[in-house]
Amino acid sequence: MLSLDFLDDVRRMNKRQLCYQVLNFGMIVSSALMIWKGLMVLTGSESPIVVVLSGSMEPAFHRGDLLFLTNRVEDPIRVGEIVVFRIEGREIPIVHRVLKIHEKENGEIKFLTKGDNNSVDDRGLYKPGQHWLEKKDVVGRARGFVPYIGIVTILMNDYPKFKYAVLFLLGLFVLVHRE
Amino acid sequence: MAARNGKNGLLEKWRIDEKPVKIDKWDGAAVKNSLDDAAKKVLLEKYGYAENFNLVDGRLLICTISCLFAIVALIWDFLHPFPESKPVLAICVISYFIMMGFLTLYTSYQEKNIFLVSVQKDPAGMDLNHTWQLSSSLKRFDDQYTLRVSFTDGKSKHTREQEITKSVGAFFDGNGTLVMDQFEKCVSKLHNTLATEKKTK
């Protein structure tokens, strides 16, 4: 039987202290959640921080870069600007440059994108039958970036067991450790 | 009957109230916590006071309300995807951070360093309950532990305090095991000083 000495503190706790340990864990998770939702509200984007997943925008953005997005209604989308968009039915956001725009008088636009480092435009990536993207597909525009940090996120997604192990250990530590 | 005994048996094995407290002597937080717990034990078990949980309950309530705001935000956003949920999210986020502010104010000004509020019930049952409060401090990387006992008379509402500062080395042996006898002596002395003061006044 393992010597579970590290649980000694927990075993000596009364109901209220145990309750506080769980609440403490809950508050740490809630704080992270609230900061994320707060950023969503502030920037207007449903995913205010994204990681560049491929090298299709080199040399501007490399795989693993962290991008900070805003999605204000007033920002016009113009040819040559970089947008982050999601293709209907897919979860992964894509960071590419706008190539062509068709604009109606009332401001509705349809646009075509292409990665700087790709040889063809993105029509191959769009939904079958879809030839243009619209404003509703846009997640946001990049306003700032931090290089390399996103590699951790990519690693965690490529090795989900590693991610669960790290989260489990962190959670256990918070629950067992007294302030 | 057998089932209940079985459950109690498991609970007994889980709780280790009687095992001597052994902690990492270099971990300041663990040292302070174990000394605080031991002081609590002395007052509650030796002198038989009843613990008053109002202070702790207040803190638990604030934490619970904060978590509720977060849960509401999570569920609402799940049911009504982003752009529609903006106003609700904004309210929840702002409320959450206001609650965090409350919590900080509460722990700093209401709770301060108090870790025990106990009531000494008058044996004659004449409704004059005295309050004993314990608070302590131990600076980071310091070995001087200060224990403060405060006695509030039930009738006159007058508060008297007494404190003692000692090195934690006086209560722990080399392995990090708490020497309960020494510490109990110290706490009892502090307690009795205050109790006798009460009688002479």
Arithmetic mean of pLDDT, B109-119: 86
Same domain assignment for residues B137 and B78 = no
Highest mean pLDDT among A95-109, B26-40, B75-89: A95-109
Res. A35: pLDDT tops 90: yes
- On whether residue B18 sits in a domain, the answer given is no
Same domain assignment for residues A130 and A161 = no
The nearest alpha carbon in chain B to A10 belongs to B15
pLDDT of the residue at B27: 83
Same domain assignment for residues B30 and B68 = no
Same domain assignment for residues A57 and A96 = yes
Cα–Cα distances in Å, from A164 out to A53, A172, B74?
21, 12, 21
Phi, psi of B181 (to 5 degrees): -60, -50
Active-site annotation holds for A122: yes
| Nearest alpha carbon to residue A98 among A117, A84, A108 | A84
pLDDT of the residue at B13: 64
Residues of the domain holding A77: 49-147
Arithmetic mean of pLDDT, A81-87: 92
Structure confidence at residue B18 as a pLDDT band (50, 70, 90): low
Residues of the domain holding B65: 56-110
Q: Distance (Å, rounded) from C-alpha B117 to C-alpha B43?
A: 10
**Given A27, A43, A59, which residue is the final one in a domain?**
A43
Active-site annotation holds for A3: no
Same domain assignment for residues B84 and B175 = no
CB A136 within 8 A of CB A127: no
Beta-carbon contacts below 8 Å between A and B: 73
Q: Do B67 and A8 touch (CB under 8 A)?
A: no
Structure confidence at residue B11 as a pLDDT band (50, 70, 90): low
Helices (H) then strands (E): counts for chain B: 5, 5
pLDDT of the residue at B65: 94
Arithmetic mean of pLDDT, B78-97: 89
The alpha-carbon gap from B185 to the nearest alpha carbon of chain A, in Å, equals 22
Structure confidence at residue B127 as a pLDDT band (50, 70, 90): low
The nearest alpha carbon in chain A to B12 belongs to A11
Res. A50: pLDDT tops 50: yes
Partner-chain residue, chosen from B33, B37, B67, that has the shortest CB–CB distance to A23: B67
Same domain assignment for residues A61 and A135 = yes
Same domain assignment for residues A81 and A115 = yes
Same domain assignment for residues A109 and A58 = yes
Count of domains for chain B = 2
| Nearest alpha carbon to residue B22 among B11, B37, B7 | B37
Q: Do B63 and A11 touch (CB under 8 A)?
A: no
Taking only the tens place, the pLDDT of each residue in A90-147 is 888 999 999 999 999 988 899 999 999 999 999 999 999 899 999 989 999 988 989 9
Same domain assignment for residues A97 and A143 = yes
Same domain assignment for residues A23 and A111 = no
The residue annotated as part of the active site, out of A47, A56, A65, A137, is A56
Q: Which residue has the higher pLDDT, A119 or B156?
A: A119
pLDDT of the residue at B172: 86
pLDDT of the residue at B176: 82
Active-site annotation holds for A96: yes
Q: Do B93 and A41 touch (CB under 8 A)?
A: yes
pLDDT of the residue at A1: 45
Res. B59: pLDDT tops 80: yes
- On whether residue B4 sits in a domain, the answer given is no
